[in-house]
Structure 1
Amino acid sequence: MLGTFQKSNLRIEIEAEETAIRDSLLQPSQLQQWLWPLNLSSGLPEQLSRGLIFTSQVGPIPIQHRVDVAASNCLRFLLSQGIDGFHEWCWGEGWVQSRLEGVSLLPLSLGQTLSLLQLKKFLQAKQSS
């Protein structure tokens, strides 16, 4: 794999209930709404579960995701193709933590920061409606 090894661990506070955070991460229909610029493959089930494999795209770069853990407070993807590594999400009442490690040409830390901010914005908009 071409690229450099990168790792980042970020945690933010979000004014949202744990169930809202969980649904935003484990339900592909919601995940697709805020996880821009990634485009998820079509035909995904209502809820992510262990062993599921799907592809997302960042522009022309495909990233394969294999769901390694899908629990009530944790989600971990094993990544390949555009990123060789993993992305783990953990959450609770009012907080989300994202841990990302991998080899890639993509700026992973920047993408991780943007995705957390987009999740926060998505949940705030959902809560106010």
Structure 2
Amino acid sequence: MLGTFQQSQIRIEVNASARAIGESLLYPEKLRQWMFPQQISSGLPNQLEPGLSFVSRTGLITIKHEIETLHDSYLRLILSEAVDGYHEWCWDEGWVQSRLEGISLLPLNLAQTTTLLRLRQFLELSSQEKS
């Protein structure tokens, strides 16, 4: 794999319950909404599960994700293709944390920050719609 070894860990506060955060990360239909313009494989089950693999694409950039571990408030994905490494998510009431480590030509910290900000915005809009 060509690229640079990179690692980043970001934790942000969000105005959302642990349940809402988990649903946004684990339900492909919700993932597609907040990860746009990134496209996620079709034909996925209603909820992600250990051992499941899927692909995300942004333009010509493709990343394969394999769910290695999934349990209460924790998700670990093994990444390959444009990023060789892993992405961990953990969350609880009012916060979400993302840890990303891998080799890539892409600026992973920038992508990770953008992803977390998109998730926060999605959760805030979702909570406003329920109010």
TM superposition score category, shorter chain reference? over 0.9
Deviates more, 1:84-93 or 1:52-61: 52-61
CA distance in 2, matches of 1:51, 1:19: 22
Q: Partner residue of 1:39? A: 39
- 2:83 is the alignment partner of 1:83: yes
Question: What stretches of structure 1 of length at least 5 have no aligned partner?
Answer: none
C-alpha root-mean-square deviation of aligned residues, in Å?
0.8
Deviation at 1:60, TM superposition (A): 0.5
1:72 matched to 2:85? The reply is no
Q: Does 1:100 align with 2:100?
A: yes
Partner of 1:54: 54
Farther-moved stretch of structure 1 (21-30 vs 64-73) = 64-73
The percent of aligned pairs where both chains have the same amino acid is: 54
Partners of 1:55 and 1:41 lie apart in 2 by 5
Distance 1:120 1:95 in 2: 9
Q: Partner of 1:120 in structure 2? A: 120
CA drift at 1:61: 1.6
CA deviations 1:7-59 (Å, max 9, x no partner) are: 00000000101100000000010011111332101101100000001111121
Runs of 4 or more, structure 1, over 4 Å off, are: none
Q: TM-score, normalised by structure 2?
A: 0.96
Measured in 2, the distance between the counterparts of 1:70 and 1:99 equals 15
Q: Within 2, Cα distance between the matches of 1:114 and 1:36?
A: 11
Give the total of aligned pairs. 129
Match of 2:31, SS state, is helix
* Long gaps (5+) in structure 2: none
